[in-house]
Amino acid sequence: MTLTNAHLGDLKSDPRNARRHTPRNVGLIEDALHEVGAGRSIVIDENNVVLAGNATIEAAASAGIERVQIVDTDGETLIAVRRTDLTAKQKQRLALLDNRTAELAEWDADVIADMLREDEAALAGLFYEDEIAILLQSIPGEDDWQDAFGRLPDGERAPFMQMTFTLHDEQAEQVAQALRLAKEQGEFVGCPNENSNGNALARVCETYLTMIGQDGGR
């Protein structure tokens, strides 16, 4: 492991950063740097492109911080920044500021959509299907997210769509009850029991759409 002293200007922001840093986000990081100083490391590649910490270098420039100490490592060693100059109150503030600034950043839907089109595996494990759908709704005309997620092949039939929902306890119990009844009673003619969950959910949605007058004329 080696240490190298560098200038902040030697670092380059990631041109495809998927996080969008708002003025409030960067401003709070700058406030934190003034209040408690630098306390978090960033990650750069061999070309000094910032992989993690783009908002931090932007805020550091505004805060007047110019020095950078680069630690060369292979990822097998955890890098810890030790601060021995902080008061008890500053330690608490540093922890709170660190967590709050992370919350204030936003995902850049356009970059996420580009990544999906290029290689959906790049986002593996990061989002549920419904989270991707909500995120991409902010892009006009971006309605093909389902083509990239959750399709289950089914031989000669059209593929199924696997979907994820977030429900509170009462909603979850209602859905579970409907699915149990569908499986127990074999209510849907011509549909095998293993498909009853999907059919029960589809019937609920069909009833709801009819109720609000959005049944597509069926």
pLDDT in tens, 41-91: 999 999 999 999 999 999 999 999 999 999 999 999 999 999 999 999 999
Record the pTM.
Answer: 0.62
Structural domain for 46, as ranges: 2-107
**Residues 32, 38, 40: CA angle, nearest 5 degrees:** 100
46 and 84 both lie in a single domain: yes
pLDDT score at 157:
45
Examine the fold and report which residue of 46, 78, 107 is the final residue of a domain before the chain moves on: 107
Asked if 17 and 25 count as a contact pair (C-beta separation under 8 A), the reply is no
Residue that the structure tokens 């579970």 belong to? 176
Amino acid at the residue 87: T
Inside any domain, residue 185: yes
Inside any domain, residue 217: no
Is the per-residue pLDDT at 167 higher than 50?
A: yes
**From CA 14, how far away is CA 2, in angstroms rounded?**
24
The rounded radius of gyration (Å) of the Cα atoms in the chain is 25
Least confident stretch, 2-16, 86-100, 199-213: 199-213
